């Protein structure tokens, strides 16, 4: 008996570490796509507003389709029978295919304009399918590793912590890309693809599932039908309420760490510096620390109390971030980081409570129906995350376009493209490289001509009160392009004595573009409101849903487990 207990503990500890470490590469991948894909497109592709908006719409449609597809993938997992169980085959297949797709997406740059939009559409929809294979199977496995409440808190805590480590590492590295985005994203995507496959291989090879459970699953004659899947979701009222809360939470919590945050830093602080990485350090350190102590906090406080404390801390941080620069407290990277720590710490606890609440609905389903259905139930987590991501994308796109930020950053995108062209096409190891580039700026004038032509086409499509007003708009468009050309010529060139090659520094020119809007308080307030006021509304809504509708507290969970164990013994 004692040997069995020791052996079970060893297996649990092995599973806990191998499962949790596997999440590092996964969340690095998700962060690259969810947080930085739009930054990459916004600052390196030089698209028109129509093309950028189309890509944003494709992201929304892709995520809605992916959200709908998640429960279907959950049913496929439930019906999978193999010697490796129902989770592992899909974990490794999804990881390998996802790695291939992200390398292609960030390294193939032969398409421009609408051709890039088509290339993006195909690549992104394939990514949605392959990542879903991995995502659903990975998180569904969590509930099968233990039914003991304390052990589940431990493994959930560790899994979320290492997922946070992956997201933190990706954020910290990729945030350094400004000023050399084209080559940076290409290299980072390859590194993250390798990390994804390596980490998920560790999970597949290291986690030891219960052989009896695998045999029972393989012996089941009946499959989970689409009707069964729908009924499982429909009849589990607690699952529906907690997924609604998770949907609202995911929208609110994602905006401060999104494309909007980096645009705020570029506009109000600096482009091409380490400020973005410093913000990520605050996110990573505060989130990981709080999540690491969740098991201890859960032993001292009920989840309902933890929700109140976490929401209070989060709201205080958001309100202070909103007022920075508009009050006596100045806006700089130090003040941003201080109040961002409040936000990230509060949201970390909120997320842990949500994750445990969602996991507990599996036992609730077993308590009511006798069936666990981990794959179907846990498919609701990414379902709501991706559906929330679609809504978030609409919010982000609307703010970038409505505030005028996107029109401003089109010029920075041209600078990033020119830097990549210079350092890949015009380096000769001597001053001739710089001279040739400057002499050939005329060849690059085609980019500016295209930009001007698009602006003129927009003017032609508008109605003006008089011909004089129309001519004024044309003059302003020409002046804007001339100003951009002059800014480009201001870029500096530096010789690397070790390689003998010249590099092009575009950060002074990029900052010149952003500083031209230094007094535009309307642009700044719209952007700031998007990462403070909007999150407050969604997070408060998530809190109210849990407070009013979710009833699986600590006492009810113990009661359910007692009843489940009693039925099993009978």
Contact 52, 230 (CB under 8 A): no
Give 494's DSSP letter: E
The topology (CATH level 3) of 14-403+525-557 is Growth Hormone; Chain: A; (1.20.1250)
3-class secondary structure per residue, 223-236: CCCHHHHHHHHHHC
Start-end of CATH 1.20.1250.20 domains in the chain: 14-403+525-557
What is the number of alpha carbons within 13 Å of residue 390 lying toward its C-beta? 18
Q: What is the pLDDT along the chain (570 residues), one digit of tens a residue?
A: 555 566 667 877 788 888 888 889 999 998 899 888 888 998 888 888 889 999 989 988 887 877 777 777 777 877 777 777 788 888 999 999 999 999 999 998 888 889 999 999 999 989 988 998 888 888 878 767 766 667 766 777 788 788 878 888 888 888 888 888 888 898 999 999 999 999 999 988 888 766 555 554 444 544 555 566 566 667 778 888 888 898 999 999 988 878 888 889 888 888 877 888 888 777 777 777 776 777 777 778 888 888 999 999 999 999 999 998 888 888 888 899 889 889 988 898 898 888 888 878 888 777 777 777 766 676 666 677 778 888 888 899 999 999 889 888 887 887 787 777 767 655 443 445 555 555 555 444 555 566 667 777 877 878 777 777 787 778 777 766 666 566 555 666 666 666 666 677 788 888 888 888 878 888 988 999 999 999 999 999 999 998 888 888 878 878 888 877 887 776
How far is residue 382 from each of residues 70, 132, 134, 385, measured CA to CA in Å?
7, 8, 11, 5
Contact 206, 91 (CB under 8 A): no
**How many other CB atoms sit within 10 Å of the CB of residue 334?**
9
Q: How far is CA 405 from the centre of its chain?
A: 21
Q: For residues 342 and 314, what is the distance between their CA atoms, to the nearest angstrom?
A: 6
What lies within 8 Å, CB to CB, of 207 at 6+ separation is: 14, 15, 18, 19, 88, 141, 145
In sequence order, what are the beta bridge partners of 503?
A: 494
Q: Do the strands 501-505 and 492-496 form a parallel or antiparallel pair, or are they unpaired? A: antiparallel
Q: Specify the pTM.
A: 0.73
Q: How much is the pLDDT for 252?
A: 92
């Amino acid at each position: 008996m004692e040997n069995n207990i020791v052996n079970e503990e060893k297996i649990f500890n092995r599973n806990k570490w191998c499962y949790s470490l596997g999440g590092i590469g996964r969340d690095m991948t998700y962060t690259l796509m969810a947080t930085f894909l739009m930054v990459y497109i916004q600052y390196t592709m030089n698209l028109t507003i129509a093309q950028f908006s189309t890509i944003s719409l494709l992201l929304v449609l892709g995520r809605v389709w992916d959200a709908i597809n998640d429960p279907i993938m959950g049913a496929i997992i439930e019906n999978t029978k193999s010697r490796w169980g129902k989770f592992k085959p899909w974990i490794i297949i999804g990881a390998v295919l996802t790695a291939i797709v992200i390398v292609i997406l960030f390294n193939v740059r032969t398409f421009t304009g609408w051709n890039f939009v088509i290339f993006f559409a195909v690549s992104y929809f394939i990514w949605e399918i392959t990542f879903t294979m991995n995502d659903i199977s990975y998180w569904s496995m969590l509930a099968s590793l233990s039914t003991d409440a304390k052990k589940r808190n431990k493994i959930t805590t560790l899994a979320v912590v290492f997922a946070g480590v992956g997201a933190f590492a990706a954020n910290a590295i990729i945030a350094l890309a400004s000023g050399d985005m084209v080559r940076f994203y290409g290299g980072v995507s390859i590194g993250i693809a390798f990390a994804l496959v390596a980490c998920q291989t560790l999970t597949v090879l290291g986690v030891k599932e219960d052989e009896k459970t695998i045999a029972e699953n393989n012996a089941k004659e009946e499959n989970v039908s689409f009707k069964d899947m729908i009924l499982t979701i429909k009849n589990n009222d607690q699952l529906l309420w907690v997924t609604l809360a998770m949907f609202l939470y995911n929208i609110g919590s994602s905006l401060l760490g999104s494309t909007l945050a980096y645009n705020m830093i570029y506009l109000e602080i600096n482009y091409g510096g380490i400020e973005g990485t410093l913000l990520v350090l605050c996110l990573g350190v505060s989130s990981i620390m709080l999540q690491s102590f969740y098991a201890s906090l859960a032993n001292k406080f009920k989840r309902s109390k933890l929700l109140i404390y976490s929401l209070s801390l989060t709201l205080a941080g958001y309100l202070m971030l909103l007022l920075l620069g508009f009050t006596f407290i100045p806006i700089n990277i130090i003040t941003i980081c201080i109040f961002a720590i409040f936000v990230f710490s509060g949201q970390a606890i909120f997320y842990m409570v949500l994750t445990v609440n969602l996991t507990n609905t599996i036992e609730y389903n077993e308590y009511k129906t006798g069936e666990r259905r981990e794959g179907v139930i846990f498919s609701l987590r990414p379902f709501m995350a991706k559906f929330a991501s679609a809504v978030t994308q609409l919010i982000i796109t609307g703010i970038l376009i409505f505030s005028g930020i996107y029109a401003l950053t089109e010029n920075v995108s041209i600078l990033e493209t020119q830097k990549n062209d210079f350092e890949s096409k015009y380096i000769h190891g001597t001053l001739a490289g710089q001279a040739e580039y400057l002499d050939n700026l005329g060849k690059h004038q085609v980019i500016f001509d295209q930009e001007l032509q698009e602006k003129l086409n927009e003017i032609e499509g508008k109605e003006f009160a008089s011909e004089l007003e129309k001519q004024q708009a044309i003059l302003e468009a020409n002046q804007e392009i001339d100003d951009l050309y002059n800014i480009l010529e201001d870029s500096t060139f530096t010789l690397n004595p070790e390689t003998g090659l010249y590099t092009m520094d575009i950060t002074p020119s990029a900052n010149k573009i952003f500083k031209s809007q230094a007094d535009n308080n309307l642009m700044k307030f719209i952007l700031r409101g998007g990462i403070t006021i909007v999150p407050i509304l969604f997070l408060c809504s998530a809190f109210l849903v849990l407070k009013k509708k979710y009833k699986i507290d600590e006492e009810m969970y113990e009661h359910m487990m007692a009843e489940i164990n009693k039925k099993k013994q009978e």
